[in-house]
C-alpha cells in the first residue's frame, strides 16, 4: 500500500493595520496567513503544490478564503503570498530522487569501467552473461586464458528472464566441453551487446 497525500505548512501571518473586516467593519483586526501545500508519499515531502492565503478577523472570527476576500484584503494576501518563502525541505523527495538518479548513473559508469578491465585482462573464473540468438540468456565461464584467447565452458542451462540469470550460474551447470574464443571475438560480442555483463 502506498500512502500519499498533501499537507499544508504555515509560512507567515500578518495583521496589517489598514485592513477593514467586511463583516464587523473593525479596522486592523484582520490577520492574513499564508500556507504552502506539498505532496507527500510515505510522509516524505515530494514537492510543493502551491500557496494559499486565508484571513481571519480577530474581532468577529470571520474567516475568508481568497475567492471571498474583498479587494483590499485580497491584495494584502497576494503580497504576503509573494514575499513568503516556503521551506526547502518540502522538496526532500525530489532531492532524494535526484541523488538516486545521479548515484545510479555513477554506479553504472563504474560497472562499465570494471567490465572493460575484465575484458582487457580476462581471468579464470570470469563469467560472461550473453544473449542467445534464438532468445533467452545463458553464461560462459572462463576456464583458461592465453595471450590472445579465452577458453570457456558453456552453461548447459538457459533462462528466459535476464534478471534471473544468476540462478543458473552454478558450478554444476557448466559443461565439460571447453572451446576457445579469441579476445577480438569476445570484444566484438561485448560491443554488440551479445555479451552484456561480466562477473568476477
Catalog residues that contact Zn ion under the rule CB under 5 A. 21, 23-24, 57, 59-60, 62
Of the pair 8, 61, the CB lying nearest Zn ion is at: 61
For residue 28 the three cell numbers come to 486592523
- Provide, rounded to whole angstroms, the least separation between the CB of residue 55 and Zn ion: 10
Name the maximum alpha-carbon separation found in the chain.
Answer: 96
Give the Cα-Cα-Cα angle 104, 105, 107 (nearest 5 degrees).
Answer: 60
Instruction: Confirm if 151 and 180 have CB atoms less than 8 A apart.
Output: yes
- Provide, rounded to whole angstroms, the least separation between the CB of residue 18 and Zn ion: 14
Residue spans of alpha helices (H) in the chain: 71-83, 92-120, 183-191
Backbone angles phi, psi at 110, to 5 degrees: -65, -40
- Provide, rounded to whole angstroms, the least separation between the CB of residue 61 and Zn ion: 7
Of the pair 21, 76, the CB lying nearest Zn ion is at: 21
Of the pair 21, 159, the CB lying nearest Zn ion is at: 21
Q: Other CB atoms closer than 10 Å to residue 127's CB: what's the count?
A: 19
- Number of residues written out for the chain: 200
Of the pair 25, 88, the CB lying nearest Zn ion is at: 25
- Provide, rounded to whole angstroms, the least separation between the CB of residue 83 and Zn ion: 24
Instruction: Confirm if 13 and 46 have CB atoms less than 8 A apart.
Output: no
- Provide, rounded to whole angstroms, the least separation between the CB of residue 60 and Zn ion: 3
Instruction: Confirm if 183 and 122 have CB atoms less than 8 A apart.
Output: yes
Of the pair 24, 88, the CB lying nearest Zn ion is at: 24
Amino acid at each position: 500500500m502506498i500512502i500519499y497525500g498533501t499537507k499544508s505548512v504555515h509560512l507567515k501571518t500578518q495583521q496589517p493595520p489598514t485592513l477593514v473586516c467586511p463583516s464587523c467593519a473593525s479596522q486592523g483586526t484582520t490577520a492574513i496567513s499564508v500556507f504552502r501545500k506539498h505532496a507527500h508519499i510515505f510522509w516524505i515531502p515530494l514537492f510543493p503544490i502551491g500557496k494559499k492565503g486565508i484571513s481571519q478577523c480577530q474581532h468577529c472570527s470571520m474567516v475568508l478564503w481568497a475567492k471571498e476576500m474583498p479587494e483590499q484584503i485580497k491584495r494584502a494576501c497576494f503580497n504576503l503570498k509573494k514575499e513568503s518563502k516556503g521551506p526547502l525541505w518540502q522538496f526532500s523527495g525530489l532531492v532524494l530522487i535526484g541523488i538516486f538518479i545521479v548515484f545510479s548513473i555513477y554506479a553504472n559508469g563504474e560497472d562499465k569501467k570494471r567490465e572493460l578491465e575484465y575484458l582487457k585482462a580476462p581471468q579464470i573464473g570470469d563469467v560472461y552473461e550473453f544473449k542467445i540468438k534464438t532468445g533467452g540468456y545463458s553464461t560462459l565461464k572462463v576456464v583458461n586464458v592465453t595471450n590472445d584467447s579465452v577458453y570457456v565452458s558453456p552453461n548447459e542451462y538457459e533462462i528466459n528472464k535476464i534478471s534471473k540469470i544468476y540462478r543458473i550460474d552454478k558450478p554444476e551447470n557448466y559443461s565439460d566441453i571447453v572451446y576457445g574464443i579469441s579476445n577480438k571475438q569476445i570484444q566484438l560480442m561485448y560491443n554488440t551487446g551479445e555479451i552484456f555483463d561480466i562477473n568476477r
